[in-house]
Amino acid sequence: MRHHWLRFLALFLPALGADLATKSWALHALEPGRTLEPIGPLLPLTLSFNRGAAFSLHFGDHSRLAFILFSIIAMLGLLIYYHRTPASARLRAIVLPLIAAGALGNLIDRIRWDLGVVDFLGPYDLGFMQWPIFNVADICISCGAILLSIALWLEERRATI
């Protein structure tokens, strides 16, 4: 069991650290609303604050409190789910700490100020739309959610064979 939680921390702490460090860098190096392209359109950097959730989803004046409560509940759920994850579910055991790190990274921003979550990667012009501005926590959550879906699908498929 101890090894199980050491693996969690070994994945969780670097992901959380990367999120917090890059947000700190963005706050000190970028100006709100001004886009820099240090390596051209491949890496647009624009400091932005998102008071909502993914794609600026929000609940009006109560968004901050709602997302703080939702994030705390989600974190507890992720920890319980990780605790109950069997050793054979390796991919699930890898992605849950990443999702948890992303959730905590954005929760820290919501708790520390009412500006919103620090975003700085983007926007990306996809030719048919502008991809929104995001951060490392969002990458951990999004990629983790996709990989978790794949992990659960593979686990279910193995169970039926």
Helix (H) or strand (E) holding 150: helix 136-160
Number of domains into which the chain is organized: 1
Range of the domain at 61: 2-160
Give burial (CB, 10 Å; 0-12/13-18/19+) of 115. Answer: middle
Average pLDDT on 42-66 reads 81
pLDDT in tens, 24-34: 999 999 999 89
For the CA atoms of the chain, what is the radius of gyration?
Answer: 17
Q: How many CB atoms lie within 10 A of CB 129?
A: 9
Token couple for 32? 């709100």
Give burial (CB, 10 Å; 0-12/13-18/19+) of 100. Answer: buried
Token couple for 76? 């507890």
Model confidence at 56: pLDDT above 80: no
pLDDT in tens, 103-131: 999 999 999 999 999 999 999 988 888 88
pTM: 0.92
The confidence score (pLDDT) of residue 126 equals 87
The confidence score (pLDDT) of residue 54 equals 62
Model confidence at 9: pLDDT above 60: yes
Which residues in the chain belong to E strands, given as ranges? 35-36, 38-41, 45-50, 117-121, 124-125, 130-131
What is the rounded CA–CA span in Å between residue 49 and residue 32?
8
Residues annotated as catalytic (active site), given as ranges? 119, 138
